[in-house]
Structure 1
């Protein structure tokens, strides 16, 4: 009977050439068989540990996600309004970053706000209207109550008479809920990110 083609021993510590005696033989001797079995056991154990660690990470991720959802669920509506307003204001300030204050037409080193022409208190429906909000210095916004005398002509010049008239017209008051504010927040965060990406390109 012809010898079977020789092959290398599967044991990592041996790797000697040998002629198998039977089909499926992958090691040259009993000692190498024992070594391969130990190697395979170690590999299996390592794989089990990797799988277990992965499962634990997934469970931890799911647990943190559920905790975050529970924390969000108990937060008051004002929390989401503030988040949406902050995201909107950040976008407005970055959109107008190269422009002077809409009211006093000055560039200065002071703080800039996202100043609403029609106030959010009297016109909450225009809180997130981009035509109603522009970069404004803190002096005009805080100390001059928006400096609306100078804001108006500058706003008309910036957005045009037709859009100004539309802004001044009647508007339905949306019945924004928690999910609406979350959507607005996410929308303006995405718009700001996209705008910054365009500038960097």
Structure 2
């Protein structure tokens, strides 16, 4: 019988002449060592597969939990979240500008000293709650303690956006009722706007 061509041992790396086809190790010692290595590799693969399985199950659980929470959200929940995203954008848009009513500059205070003020209040004209012309950064004192300081707010808007746009706000008397899908869009739009504005400002600060 012809001698089989030599090959390299899968365990020790030495060249040897196999005594039978399919032999991949040169000795019993190397066979035992190679078997241990393969057993360890199989154990690690099994652990990785189990880890991936747990991660997939956890991801599925999170998705189900998120879906359940979304299903339980009411119209008021979506409205509140949409308003929060919108207000945050307005405060960020007007960051560093003085109060629209009294002209006070924002104080360097934790949590901020500026609100998103509404010229026509959300209670009086809720259909203008998400109108960017109807809103501006307003100090907490004017917005909360002075009932919005409406006359001063109006003059501040006239100076900032012009009398025609303010008059358009004053003439906007047609009520609108927003549904959940509208609130979802508002939240999504202004969340993206906030992120974009934050990124741009971070880039400007780095460049400076």
Question: Which bin holds the TM-score, normalised by the shorter protein?
Answer: 0.7 to 0.9
The structure-2 alpha-carbon separation of the partners of 1:88 and 1:122, relative to structure 1 and needing over 3 Å to count, comes to same
TM-score by length of 2: 0.84
**Post-superposition offset of 1:2:** 6.2
The structure-2 alpha-carbon separation of the partners of 1:51 and 1:151, relative to structure 1 and needing over 3 Å to count, comes to same
Tell me the equivalent position of 2:42: 44
Tell me the equivalent position of 1:9: 9
Alignment of structure 1 residues 18-57 onto 2, 5 Å: 18-57=16-55
Q: In 1, distance between residues paired with 2:161 and 2:174?
A: 21
**Post-superposition offset of 1:136:** 0.5
Q: In 2, distance between residues paired with 1:173 and 1:52?
A: 57
Tell me the equivalent position of 1:184: 186
Q: In 2, distance between residues paired with 1:151 and 1:194?
A: 28
The structure-2 alpha-carbon separation of the partners of 1:173 and 1:20, relative to structure 1 and needing over 3 Å to count, comes to farther
Tell me the equivalent position of 2:160: 158
Q: In 1, distance between residues paired with 2:3 and 2:69?
A: 75
Which of 125, 137, 140 in structure 2 is aligned with 1:138? Answer: 140
TM-score by length of 1: 0.87
Aligned Cα root-mean-square deviation (Å): 2.1
Any stretches of 5+ residues in structure 2 without a counterpart? Answer: 204-208
Any stretches of 5+ residues in structure 1 without a counterpart? Answer: none
Q: In 1, distance between residues paired with 2:100 and 2:166?
A: 14
Tell me the equivalent position of 1:99: 97
2:122 matches 1:120: yes
Q: In 2, distance between residues paired with 1:70 and 1:3?
A: 66
